Amino acid sequence: MAEAITPRSQDYSQWYTDVILRAEVADYAPVRGCMVLRPYGFALWENIQQGLDKRFKATGHQNAYFPLFIPQSFLQKEAEHIEGFAPELAVVTHGGGEKLEEPLIVRPTSEAIIGYHYSKWIKSYRDLPVLINQWCSVVRWEMRTRMFLRTTEFLWQEGHTAHATFEEAEAETRQMLDVYDDFAAKEAALPVLKGRKSDSERFPGAMTTYTIESMMGDKRALQSATSHNLGQNFAKAFEIQYLDRQNELQHCWTTSWGMSWRIQGAILMAHGDDQGLVLPPRLAPIQAVIVPIYKEEVDRTPVLEAARRLKKSFEGSIRIHLDDREEHTAGWKFNEWEMRGVPVRIEVGPKDVAKNQVVLGRRDMPGKEGKKFVSQDGLTAAVQALLDEIQTNLYNKALKFREDNTREPKNYDEFKEAVAESFARAWWCGNAECEAKIKEETKATNRCIPLDQETSKSGGMCIYCGKAAKEKAIFGRAY
Amino acid sequence: MAEAITPRSQDYSQWYTDVILRAEVADYAPVRGCMVLRPYGFALWENIQQGLDKRFKATGHQNAYFPLFIPQSFLQKEAEHIEGFAPELAVVTHGGGEKLEEPLIVRPTSEAIIGYHYSKWIKSYRDLPVLINQWCSVVRWEMRTRMFLRTTEFLWQEGHTAHATFEEAEAETRQMLDVYDDFAAKEAALPVLKGRKSDSERFPGAMTTYTIESMMGDKRALQSATSHNLGQNFAKAFEIQYLDRQNELQHCWTTSWGMSWRIQGAILMAHGDDQGLVLPPRLAPIQAVIVPIYKEEVDRTPVLEAARRLKKSFEGSIRIHLDDREEHTAGWKFNEWEMRGVPVRIEVGPKDVAKNQVVLGRRDMPGKEGKKFVSQDGLTAAVQALLDEIQTNLYNKALKFREDNTREPKNYDEFKEAVAESFARAWWCGNAECEAKIKEETKATNRCIPLDQETSKSGGMCIYCGKAAKEKAIFGRAY
């Protein structure tokens, strides 16, 4: 931990890489665009998984596992789908020493293979809805990669559901968007914008794609999860049909929705600072670290004993770590755990032992402001309360940051200025050409058409072409 | 559920397939040798994962995730390793529309890629031991496949550790074998034989392979998990080195150990009967099912109300399901849940409501013998006690079955007879040729050399060649 992390103001992208490598969150793999999720990063991912999985189950979903390999011909059944994914596929051509008759695709997403199975399993309206989620890794060949945000292989979950009606499918699609929003807000401390994607940003094969978008520390947007109403497109391509109550054959309506380890990148980028990571308490692998402090040998035993006793008292309620390594100074440890983003530091020295107290330091307020003396009696409750406070503070800070950096430009000149350094909320006519021109001229993309539109029904004028516009969209430079 | 399951006595293999498909545990995938784990099967897998994962963490291991793809050249670094796996590899030759410079192997196991990373991460004795586990899927091209037991892609966990000394690596290897044994016994109700593999059955690249072997309902053996002491083989191939306390560079000693969804096949085969699955309570996705029974419309509401109240009272302590479907009779439901292996059935009819009682039926004792009337007061505790009893009973039955079907033949004629229909424990000289001849002549393989040898130090005569033998081995026909 000798080298310092590049400051964000100097090179944001380098700061991001430095933090990830230095905090041992992840490492580059020897295969281009691939990544290793190291134990500290994986522990964060496990907490993300738990937070999502319990929400999926509470809304009636079950997990399952579908194969890694998809026959090439399956992907070709839905025209838009294959067109969208063709350039990104990894292809297995040989197995067991022989050339395969039909190449196999390493799944880039599983609509095709799951559609095939749903068509076998679903017979009657009584089998509906089918509500299944899968945790797995998928592969999309990426040319320009960045850890967590764009990797050739990534871990994710993908939900796939089938319904009897359009309305049910739409309700499911929106419900899962709300689930992602709830998870992002409450667990990841990330305020998100919920919206619809424009046609050009839609998932290949979907009728409607919804998204949650968050703002990173450099004011760029990050698409953090998507939920797709697939209409009957996949049901028709894969013949997913059911007999309705009148005994007539109908096509199902299907949805899919996913969140990937990208959200981990969002967490690191949205909350981190020049000292390193700042992890939201609810997801932090270590919520509080105890650092024993002593200089004289005589103090060693009482301080370590107190530290160990405290550690024991936290077990089962707080994810606690005691750093009792002998080879490092307390100061070195402070830096180390700050860099790793541990929300609360608990210092115990000889004076604290004597006074039955500890010093609590909070990661979101480094320096004196965030330090306080607290009695060892009832310490677990005090730390729990502090963790809650930090969680709320991180969310509020991120929300204020986004609000401070979202503008409402009145004309295209203001718009260009705005998107160079913030989000812009602007009237948009719905035309893909305006969207493309804006991207070409400003590098800003249409992130979403927020679900939450102002109540004004009169509409306005498209920020680019000036024609009548019914909705506002959020534009910004994005990852 | 109209069709009956093939009886085990008629065709054991067909019984196995019938049960898996009928109980919706798994389904065949359109890619040869691949399988879908359906929600009911996946719920069982989740319980297996939890049972193992908590044991791994309790012994100091952390999870991580390493890439799916391994550069071909990496696999070639350890000579025995590549020789063992070469015939089973799936090869990605194209990515993003272009031919790759170096083909990528879809991981068949991760010693190679993890070895590469350990060589980067480990610098000093202070970094040791490294104790990492990974949950993922791996691919081995199999010619003859069977659901769960031998599939082209399978879910598993693979632990990979690095140590400073041979002794530590050996202790780790043995510790993880004990962890598997403990899990198999306590969670899966599977008694296993712990032993060492002979050289011809060793993991390619390992110094010593340990195994747990269990007996299936057709008296065949199933290797249920393995734990390998890799010596310094991989450390030398991948240059995993550390500076010791004397500041001298040393090679690490590494281990690996794995259990796959094969254990799920073992659970189904060891406990199942002609009515279907019999799941061990600790792993069963549904531990108890409530079946409301009424014929008259007047009884409907009070019976359903009681059933719903009971369901609520179980939540949080027992994995409970209420089958209140209107389209099926109680008798149909009894068969259905029996087939799915739910350990306890709770029947509630109008008389039971009047008497504040229920009827409990146990899956491991179908028929009257397993039925009893129990008060609704304190029912959760009564069901919990019954679940424990069933768990113990399943283990004891499986243990008795194995003991009844393990013989100690005195000569090769007796041996041949024994292995045709049971396990045989016999003196073996340690020579690979005897082992090969036995396999050729009897189809029985050397399952393991049990760790638990009789104390007699005098030894005996090899069952095949008659030469001096120091240890006994377990022989049997295996999956």
> Which residue type does A386 have?
L
pLDDT at B455: 63
CB B217 within 8 A of CB B272: yes
pLDDT (mean) for B244-258: 98
Contacts of B283 (CB under 8 A, 6+ apart): B44, B47, B48, B51, B187, B188, B267
Residue that wins the pLDDT comparison between B28 and B82: B28
Query: Helices A379-404 and A297-314 meet at what angle, rounded to 10?
Result: 80
Cβ burial A341-376 (10 Å sphere, 16+ → b, else e): bbbbbbbbbbebbeeebbbbbbbbebeeebeeebeb
What does A239-263 look like in DSSP terms, one character per residue? T-EEE-TTS-EEE-EEEEEEEETHH
CB A169 within 8 A of CB A227: no
Strand pairing partners for B138? Answer: B154
CB A214 within 8 A of CB A180: no
Q: What HEC string does A191-234 produce?
A: CCEEEECCHHHCCCCCCEEEEEEEECCCCCEEEEEEEEECCCHH
Residue B67 C-alpha, separation from nearest chain A C-alpha, in angstroms = 6
B161 CB burial (10 A radius; 0-12, 13-18, 19+): buried
Does residue B458 carry a pLDDT above 90? no
Asked if the C-beta of A116 comes within 8 angstroms of chain B's C-beta atoms, the answer is: yes
Asked if the C-beta of B144 comes within 8 angstroms of chain A's C-beta atoms, the answer is: no
pLDDT at A455: 63
Q: What share of chain A is helix, strand, coil (3-state, %, to 5)?
A: 40, 30, 35
In order of A224, A278, B284, the CA distances from A36 in angstroms are 20, 21, 33
Asked if the C-beta of A156 comes within 8 angstroms of chain B's C-beta atoms, the answer is: no
Q: For testing the chain B interface, which of A21, A31, A140, A153 should be mutated: the one with the most B CBs within 10 Å?
A: A31
Instruction: Convert the pLDDT of each residue in A25-45 to its tens digit.
Output: 999 999 989 999 999 999 999
The secondary structure of residue B443, as a DSSP letter, is S
- The boundaries of every CATH 3.40.50.800 domain in chain B are 288-386
Gyration radius of chain A over CA positions: 25
Q: Which residue of A has its CA nearest to B106?
A: A92
A86 interaction partners in chain B (CB closer than 8 Å):
97
Distance, CA of A213 to CA of A190 (rounded, Å)? 10
Residue B107: how many CB atoms within 10 A of its CB? Answer: 26
Residue B143 binned pLDDT confidence (cut-offs 50, 70, 90): confident
> Which residue type does B103 have?
P
Closest Cβ–Cβ partner in B29, B88, B89 for A67: B29
Instruction: Convert the pLDDT of each residue in A181-203 to its tens digit.
Output: 999 999 999 999 999 999 999 99
CB A242 within 8 A of CB A168: no
Q: According to the CATH classification, is domain A12-271 in 3.30.930.10?
A: yes
Joined tokens for residue B319: 């994995």
Q: Identify the CATH assignment for A408-476 out of 3.30.110.30, 3.40.50.1820, 2.40.110.10, 3.10.20.30.
A: 3.30.110.30
Instruction: Convert the pLDDT of each residue in B402-434 to its tens digit.
Output: 999 999 999 999 999 999 999 999 999 999 999
Q: Which backbone phi and psi does A309 adopt, to 5 degrees?
A: -65, -45
- The boundaries of every CATH 3.30.110.30 domain in chain A are 408-476
- The boundaries of every CATH 3.30.110.30 domain in chain B are 406-476
CB A251 within 8 A of CB A240: yes
pLDDT at A456: 64
Class of domain A288-389: alpha beta
**Which architecture does CATH list for B406-476?**
2-Layer Sandwich (3.30)
Instruction: Give the predicted TM-score (pTM) of the model.
Output: 0.96
pLDDT at B1: 45
A101 CB burial (10 A radius; 0-12, 13-18, 19+): exposed
pLDDT at A1: 45
CB B227 within 8 A of CB B255: yes
Closest Cβ–Cβ partner in A64, A68, A117 for B42: A64
pLDDT (mean) for A75-90: 90
Instruction: Convert the pLDDT of each residue in A293-312 to its tens digit.
Output: 999 999 999 999 999 999 99
Third-level CATH fold of B288-386: Rossmann fold (3.40.50)
Query: Can you tell me which residue has the tokens 């100097």?
Result: A10
Helix (H, G, I), strand (E, B) or coil at A449: strand
- The boundaries of every CATH 3.30.930.10 domain in chain B are 12-271
Closest Cβ–Cβ partner in B68, B103, B152 for A153: B68
Q: Which backbone phi and psi does A24 adopt, to 5 degrees?
A: 55, 40
Element (H, E) at B183: helix B166-186
Residue B30 C-alpha, separation from nearest chain A C-alpha, in angstroms = 8
Q: What is the mean pLDDT of chain A?
A: 96
Distance, CA of B211 to CA of B182 (rounded, Å)? 13
pLDDT (mean) for A206-222: 97
Query: Can you tell me which residue has the tokens 């991989």?
Result: B234
Residue B170 C-alpha, separation from nearest chain A C-alpha, in angstroms = 23
pLDDT (mean) for A453-470: 87
Distance, CA of B287 to CA of B273 (rounded, Å)? 18
- The boundaries of every CATH 3.40.50.800 domain in chain A are 288-389
What does B229-265 look like in DSSP terms, one character per residue? E-TTHHHHHHT-EEE-TTS-EEE-EEEEEEEETHHHH
Closest CA to A389 of A237, A290, A312, A287: A287
Contacts of A396 (CB under 8 A, 6+ apart): none
CB B343 within 8 A of CB B276: no
Distance, CA of B230 to CA of B240 (rounded, Å)? 12
Asked if the C-beta of B35 comes within 8 angstroms of chain A's C-beta atoms, the answer is: yes
Helix (H, G, I), strand (E, B) or coil at B22: helix
In order of A319, B40, B89, B270, the CA distances from B45 in angstroms are 26, 9, 25, 16
Q: Are strands A471-476 and B26-28 parallel, antiparallel or unpaired?
A: unpaired
Instruction: Convert the pLDDT of each residue in B283-309 to its tens digit.
Output: 999 999 999 999 999 999 999 999 999
Closest Cβ–Cβ partner in B64, B74, B155 for A36: B64
Asked if the C-beta of B87 comes within 8 angstroms of chain A's C-beta atoms, the answer is: yes
Angle subtended at Cα B237 by Cα B233 and Cα B240, rounded to the nearest 5 degrees: 90
Interchain proximity A67–B34, CB inside 8 Å? yes
Closest Cβ–Cβ partner in A45, A62, A87 for B39: A62
Q: Which backbone phi and psi does A311 adopt, to 5 degrees?
A: -55, -45
Strand pairing partners for A250? Answer: A242
Residue that wins the pLDDT comparison between A67 and A32: A67
Distance, CA of B9 to CA of B23 (rounded, Å)? 19
Distance, CA of A141 to CA of A137 (rounded, Å)? 13
Residue B124: how many CB atoms within 10 A of its CB? Answer: 11
Joined tokens for residue A208: 């409607």
* Percent of chain A predicted with pLDDT > 90: 94
pLDDT at A80: 86
- Furthest C-alpha separation in chain B: 85
Closest CA to B233 of B119, B54, B79: B79
Interchain proximity B104–A37, CB inside 8 Å? no
The secondary structure of residue A2, as a DSSP letter, is -
Distance, CA of A384 to CA of A382 (rounded, Å)? 5
Query: Can you tell me which residue has the tokens 């100061």?
Result: A331
Cβ burial A20-37 (10 Å sphere, 16+ → b, else e): bebbebbbbbbbbbbbbb
pLDDT (mean) for B239-244: 98
Closest Cβ–Cβ partner in A106, A136, A327 for B92: A106
Distance, CA of A396 to CA of A132 (rounded, Å)? 34
Q: Which residue of A has its CA nearest to B90?
A: A95
